Structure 1
Amino acid sequence: MPHAYNGMAARDLQGAVWRKSRYSNSQGSCVEFARLPGGEVAMRNSRFPEGPVLVYTPAEIEAMILGVKDGEFDDLMGH
């Protein structure tokens, strides 16, 4: 797998296994994640499966997940 970098095309991450939440809607509007061999986590928009890809460190993903679980981003949902 080539070196992963922010903004790269998802198709260049050969062998990446993309996952999305079971809460994603059926129209394919989903955020998808893939763990990379070096431990980083790639993220893409399922509406644009070719990319661009954003790449995060495990610590960055952990901070985001903890913030989501804690409700820090609830205001972004527009409810």
Structure 2
Amino acid sequence: MHHARHAYNGMAATELRGVVWQKSRHSNSQGSCVEFAKLPGGNVAVRNSRHPDGPALVYTPAEIEALLLGVKDGEFDHLV
């Protein structure tokens, strides 16, 4: 298995066998959502649910925490 810490900016989602992908309960019925998976070692992979075999970007826990705090604070509300 490919180790996330060696990935430059991500990897093929197909290389992430055995991880559990999760999407929001608020996802639309067409399946257009972002999915997250916690990787061994603590990093988090992110992929597009419409392309489950496509690329997955890999982030550190600190990067995901900053994203989630920004979302909770409404910093990205202008995007939707």
TM-score under structure 2 length normalisation = 0.91
AA aligned opposite 1:10: A
> Which secondary structure state, in structure 1, belongs to the residue aligned with residue 69 of structure 2?
helix
2:11–2:58: 8 Å Cα contact kept in structure 1? no
2:32–2:50: 8 Å Cα contact kept in structure 1? yes
Percent identical residues = 77
1:16-62 CA-to-partner distances (Å, cap 9, x unmatched) read: 11000000011010000000001000000001101211000000000
Query: Which one has the bigger strand percentage?
Result: 2
AA aligned opposite 1:20: K
Match runs of 1:1-79 below 5 Å: 1-4=1-4, 5=7, 6-77=9-80
AA aligned opposite 1:17: V
RMSD: 0.9
Gaps of 5+ in 1: none
AA aligned opposite 1:23: H
Moved over 3 A (4+): none
**Aligned equivalents of 2:59 and 2:22: distance in 1?**
15
AA aligned opposite 1:31: V
Gaps of 5+ in 2: none
1:7–1:51: 8 Å Cα contact kept in structure 2? no
